[in-house]
């Protein structure tokens, strides 16, 4: 029974990693938000399963926070931002999708090679979940540096934070107050980023960062 429990936790973490690759592959804004919503739903299920495995009731609260904020409020807010900014097009990827996917595979392999030996003394569930979490964080960073649209970079940042939540849930003993603080910090960061997006749009009439660089270069 314990092996089945660990296998289910690994399947959920693996699904989260697979969804990170789907975010890297997706080049349409509406598709990005839909896949991010799926990312958040899988994260909520993974944290809830960790709560069951660790017999830690406070993790159920974390799963509820993830479901409400990440799977409902943030995707709804992103769709509102898209509608108000008039963004309904494809997202340009620096270097192309193929190269980005290859770099992503390399980062996942690097995470496994680094984390599995470093956590050899930890229990099997935490050990492999932390390796998956590091891979998800690195894929989120990769998405942020390979996308030229500010909204898609926000989604990369949010997927990166999902990896941190997965790592925190896998580490036994994290206080509930820390989880709540992190959740609200991310929400406030999202609100601030949203305000900056509208300001950028009003100032430059665009949220494509390559266009902003061009405008800045023209003024220098």
Cα separation, 156 vs 56, in Å, equals 29
The first and second tokens of residue 32, run together, are 């990005």
pLDDT in tens, 43-76: 999 989 888 888 888 788 888 888 888 889 888 8
Buried b (16+ CB within 10 A) or exposed e, 191-202: eebbeebeebbe
- pTM of this structure: 0.80
DSSP label at residue 92: -
- Nearest Cα neighbor of 65 from 180, 159, 158, 160 is 180
Q: Cα(first)–Cα(last) distance of the chain, in Å?
A: 65
Quick: pLDDT tens for 172-198: 655 655 565 566 566 666 666 666 666
């Amino acid at each position: 029974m314990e092996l089945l429990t660990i296998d289910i936790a690994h399947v959920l973490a693996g699904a989260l990693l697979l969804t990170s690759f789907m975010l890297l592959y997706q080049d349409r804004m509406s598709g990005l938000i839909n896949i991010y919503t799926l990312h958040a739903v899988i994260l909520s299920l993974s944290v809830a399963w960790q709560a069951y495995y660790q017999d830690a009731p406070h993790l159920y609260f974390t799963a509820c926070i993830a479901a409400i904020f990440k799977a409902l409020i943030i995707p709804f807010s992103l769709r509102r931002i898209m509608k108000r900014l008039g963004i309904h097009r494809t997202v340009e990827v620096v270097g192309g999708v193929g190269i980005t996917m290859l770099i992503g595979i390399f980062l996942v392999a690097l995470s496994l090679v680094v984390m599995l030996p470093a956590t050899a003394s930890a229990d099997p569930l935490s050990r492999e979940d932390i390796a998956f979490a590091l891979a998800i964080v690195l894929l989120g960073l990769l998405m942020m540096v390979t996308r030229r649209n500010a909204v898609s970079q926000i989604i990369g940042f949010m997927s990166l934070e999902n990896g941190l939540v997965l790592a925190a849930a896998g580490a036994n003993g994290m206080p509930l107050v820390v989880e709540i603080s992190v959740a609200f910090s991310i929400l406030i960061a999202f609100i601030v980023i949203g305000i900056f997006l509208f300001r950028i749009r009003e100032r430059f009439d665009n949220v494509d960062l390559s266009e902003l660089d061009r405008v800045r270069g023209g003024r220098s």
